[in-house]
Structure 1
Amino acid sequence: MTHRFDTAAPGDRTTPRILAEAHELIGAAARAFGHDEYARTLLAHCEYRLREPLRVALAGSIKAGKSTLLNALVGQAVAPTDATECTRVVTWYRDAATPTVTAHAADGSRANVIVRRGSGAHGLTFDLNGLNWNARGPREVDHLEVGWPSAALSQTTIIDTPGTSSLSREVSLRTARLLTPADVEDDARATPLSVSGADAVVYLLRRLDAADVRFLEQIGAGAGGAGPLGVVGVVSRADEIGSGRIDALHSARDVAARFAAELERTGLCQAVIPVAGLLAFAAATLRQPEFAAFEALSTVPAEDLGVALLSADRFARADIALPVAPELRAQLADRFGLFGIRMATMLIRLGARDSSALAAELAARSGIEELRSVLEVQFGQRAGELKAHSALSTLDRILAAYPGTEADRLRPRVRARLADVHGFTELRLLGRLRTDELPLPPPVLADLYRILGGAGVAAHLRLGLPPEADPNTLRATAFAAVRTWRGRATHPLADRATATACRAAARSAEGILAELPQPSHSQRK
């Protein structure tokens, strides 16, 4: 199955314009800096950021399940999930013709990394011992780059980060440097030009504590307001919340709802989704012998199987009489977890007749498809805007760091673009929509969320119309939306936050009208 984030919405002409303006401004800055090689190198990286796939970082506390979720999103075992040295450095996963793993030092030195494969859920390891650097002397690994043939990675570069709550301050700083460089204090590696390396963030939560909230606040304000605009929360390892019971995901959804309520008050996340990452990855890589084992286990009386599944160790014991070899049982527990085993056997009893049907059912129940849908709406359909925001924010910091040149005249234009691009305004409002506790009825808040693109950026989705709606219907509905939101914005009882949000909604509706084909003369009559 191919997984990807779509990078453009049908009929969206605004995003190419934003990208073109960003290219133009970066090019003008490069010409203005003349022979300053370092500044031009920074600008070349900035320009490349517009052309490469969207950068999405996976962040969260230690053992939150970031690498497992990455494997599930890609649908292949590309990231080590055991606690090895490679999980303590930032690792970039990009599409490539052949698999390669490269270690990078801070001074630009590189070394090839040996990849070792074993068995079970932790079968992939990057060996960082004895690296042969292309420079004299040993080097400290600054970050890893993994090239892997993948349809998902061809659309989205995924960045796996070390745990934010690591006992080692240096390990935690590696994530802070990537996502919140302006907030990293007393860090010798942080420079005035430090900028966020990600366009959007998926933040994994096992619980919601002060450290999570503080880090999410830093992401939102990172790099002087130039941090990633898109942040989606994931209640990770959701199957463990219910102690592996068959109703674990229901418990996880309750927890996600509580997390969402807390985060909505601060506007730190655009959505919070529960995901059983281990089950999602196992479903994507389900093998026929595993299906046959689940089939055999489904014949065991539910009470007897329940007793065997009291713990993973008990399930794999040789003295437990089950129609599956103990070694294979241990592998099932390692790959699927107790929740996955219970779910798989239940689904087979309910009618899953082959491995592909079982894999699809397990994936649907893991939450991974819901997460993909949210990521496509929040990140994929706005990829151009997210990348343009990152590039323009980086350009603004470069211009600030190199004053007194002809490039100074560009900074007001860059600041104006960052402030005026309506897509950026929509993203900020979607992230803070419920933060301001707007005094609007729930149906009006739902309309506001939709017109701002919270359910997708296509015209019919913004207007709440079916996909087959004709241009005349779209135009009439958009005209009505412009009038409605303008009226709400100018209502004498509307407070400042409400008026601002309503004006943004009216502008979104005006943007829809601008995108629609103009009616013919006969249609105007």
Structure 2
Amino acid sequence: MAGIDRARAFLDAARGALADDPRAHAELDLCEHRMYQPVRVALAGSLKAGKSTLLNALVGQDIAPTDATECTRVVTWYRSGRSPSVTAHIDDGRTVGIPVTRIDGRLGFDFGRLTADRVDHLDVEWPARALQSTTIVDTPGTASLSTELSDSTIRLLAPRGESGSDEARGRSGVDAVVYLLRSLTATDTAMLRRIGTAIGGSSGPLGVVGVVSRADELGAGRMDAMISAQQIAGRFAGELERTGLCQAVVPVAGLLALAARTLREVEFRALAQLASTPGAELEAALLTMDRFARPDILPDIPADLRRSLAERFGVFGIRLAVTLIRFGATSSTELAAELVERSGLSELSAIIDTQFAQRADELKSHSALVTLDHLLAASASPRAAQLRASVRRELADVHGFRELRLLSTIRVGGLDLPPEQIADLTRLIGGSGIDPATRLGQPTGTDVPDLRASAIQAARTWRSLAGHPLIAPDVASACQVAVRSAEGIVARLDEQRSPFGTGDFSVGTHSPLG
């Protein structure tokens, strides 16, 4: 796919081809407006999958209500703002300010007399660093594991065709989706297929990542819960890889991640006290969370504090924190970092950064071209048909998608190469960042001739490996992806040196995600 500048050129050409269609012009204006905004990432999945908790963990602040209230039944946009504010967009076109409340420490939005069915969506502005480069959209879940997502979520992620058919029409309101799974049902796979078509068009799920959510609960709070979750995520990833519905699947314990990112000093001291408690006594107290919070259990730690620990960390989180303290975590900062890493949030954040945030321009451009493809298809103008052919050629080049698929394969250990070659391959295809220097393992500020020489050498190295007569077919295919990535760097560096170059360093001449 083209970069931002090329996508804008297509939009300008479409304005001429669709000059007699005011509705199409309004859509084109929206497309261009979106390209100036942060990349839009939606959290979707089944009811009670933990979307709001995961959002809070990603942001590092308690900004999304997690109770089953009216506000969790509404599509909610979280954007960067100078001060916290919540605005409800009503079905009659009005906007109403919504007060932010905290009851017993829990954040909520006070709808007053409004009900969820009257609210089209909420806009939340919040001063959070994570929202400066990414707008996160929290969506309502399914009514049950066997029902379809709510209509408001469908309209946002994968709107139906003009005739009302179930076929997605491809004008998704977001650029990428993190889809939370408790299990892998037919409803989930059908929705993932629909989302992938809406966001990626014919290129596939360019911006879809799966999360095995509430992963700590899969092992009933045992210390090996995350190992079980990783095995399940691997199985899900294999099934979704075969069907092409996801780029990656990772396990995340959202509750633990949020507690770790908001860990208070008083909680660390209480956990340190628990770590000094004899093992048998502690395990007896952790038989149930109600028992753990009883006044006559562990009297040296106030019952209210133990109840708060149970609500914020869960059994798995408490056991893990205690174990880490016993093995040497001596401060709240050190413990928090270990817990975040073991919760799976670090891996998910890295995926969101490398596959969404760093490729934001490419994702937004791709979203614009998918919408443009549908607008031009609805026109009978010969000029529109000609332009659509060019747009579809841009969309047909899916090298960026191949990079992301290969990153997913590497992540689950599905490529038989030595560790040093895996590291080089991961870096070259954008696993650590998409700028040329990072891809080539060169220091920031390396001059263009040196980068170009390094890229040419990388292309030769991986082409030679791909042609080895004893190499496995899947490894040969991965090597060809690396060759294409290296050649794309050379092409972009040459454009940069040209007086007519765009300065766009995305990899691949017409790569979907660079």
The structure-2 alpha-carbon separation of the partners of 1:508 and 1:191, relative to structure 1 and needing over 3 Å to count, comes to closer
Q: Which residue of 2 aligns with 1:43?
A: 28
Choose from 74, 92, 99 the match for 2:59.
Answer: 74
**Which range moves more in the overlay, 360-369 or 445-454?**
445-454
Normalised by the length of structure 2, the TM-score is 0.82
Distance in 2 of aligned mates of 1:446 and 1:266:
27
Q: How many aligned residue pairs are there?
A: 494
- Counterpart residue type for residue 54 of structure 1: V
Aligned counterpart, 1:220: 196
What is the Cα deviation at residue 289 of structure 1? 2.1
How many Å apart are 1:517 and its aligned residue? 7.6
Q: Does structure 2 conserve the Cα–Cα contact (< 8 Å) formed by 1:180 and 1:196?
A: yes
> What do the CA deviations read for 1:111-147 (whole angstroms, capped 9, x no partner)?
2223221234xx1122334249xxxxx9722222111
Q: Report the TM-score when normalising by structure 1.
A: 0.81
Residues 89 and 161 in structure 1, CA contact (< 8 A), matched pair in contact too = yes
1:197 counterpart residue number: 173
Residues 1:86 and 2:86 aligned together = no
Q: CA deviation at 1:458?
A: 3.9
1:179, 1:197 within 8 Å by CA — same for their partners in 2?
Answer: yes
Change (3 A) 1:322 1:186: farther
SS at match of 2:132: helix
Change beyond 3 A, Cα 1:500–1:400: farther
Q: Which residue of 1 aligns with 2:183?
A: 207
Aligned to 2:226: 249
Aligned equivalent of 2:284: 307
| Superposition pairs of residues 130-169 of structure 1, within 5 angstroms | 130-131=113-114, 140-164=118-142, 166=144
Are residue 181 (structure 1) and residue 159 (structure 2) matched? yes
- Shift, 1:17, TM fit: 6.8
Which amino acid counterpart does residue 395 of structure 1 have in structure 2? L
Whole-Å Cα distance in 1 between the matches of residues 71 and 382 of structure 2?
42
Amino acid at match of 2:391: V
Unpaired runs of at least 5, structure 2: 498-514
- Residues 2-41 of structure 1 show CA distances to partners (whole Å, capped at 9, x for unaligned) of xxxxxxxxxxxxxx97101111222333355447543322
Q: In structure 2, do the counterparts of structure 1 residues 88 and 74 end up closer, same or farther at CA, with 3 Å as the change threshold?
A: same
Contact 1:180–1:227 (CA<8 Å) still a contact in 2? no
* CA separation of 1:440 and 1:292: change in aligned 2, threshold 3 A: closer
- Cα distance in 2 for residues equivalent to 1:378 and 1:284: 22
Corresponding residue SS for 2:7: helix
Go from structure 1 to structure 2 and tell me whether the alpha carbon gap of 1:360 and 1:485 turns closer, same or farther (over 3 Å shift).
closer
Report the secondary structure of 1:181's partner residue: coil
Report the counterpart of residue 96 of structure 1 in structure 2. 81
For 2:380 and 2:92, the matched residues in 1 are separated by 26
CA contact (8 A) 2:32 2:368 kept: yes
Question: Within 1, Cα distance between the matches of 2:178 and 2:239?
Answer: 17
Q: Output the amino acid matched with 1:150.
A: A
Q: Which residue of 2 aligns with 1:363?
A: 340
Mapped pair 1:510 → 2:487: yes
* Deviation by residue 1:217-265 (Cα, 9 ceiling, x = unmatched): 2222237537751222212111112211223222222222222222222
8 Å Cα contact 2:148-2:187 kept in structure 1: no
- The answer to whether structure 1 residue 172 and structure 2 residue 150 are counterparts is yes
The answer to whether structure 1 residue 394 and structure 2 residue 352 are counterparts is no
Q: Give yes or no for contact 2:202–2:395 (8 Å, CA) kept in 1.
A: no
Contact between 1:102 and 1:110, CA under 8 Å: does it hold in 2? yes
Q: CA deviation at 1:297?
A: 2.2
Aligned-pair CA distance for 1:486: 5.7
Identity %: 56
Aligned-residue CA RMSD (Å): 3.9
Unaligned runs of 5+ in 1: 1-15, 133-137, 521-525
Shift of 1:326: 1.3
Asked if 1:125 corresponds to 2:101, the answer is: no
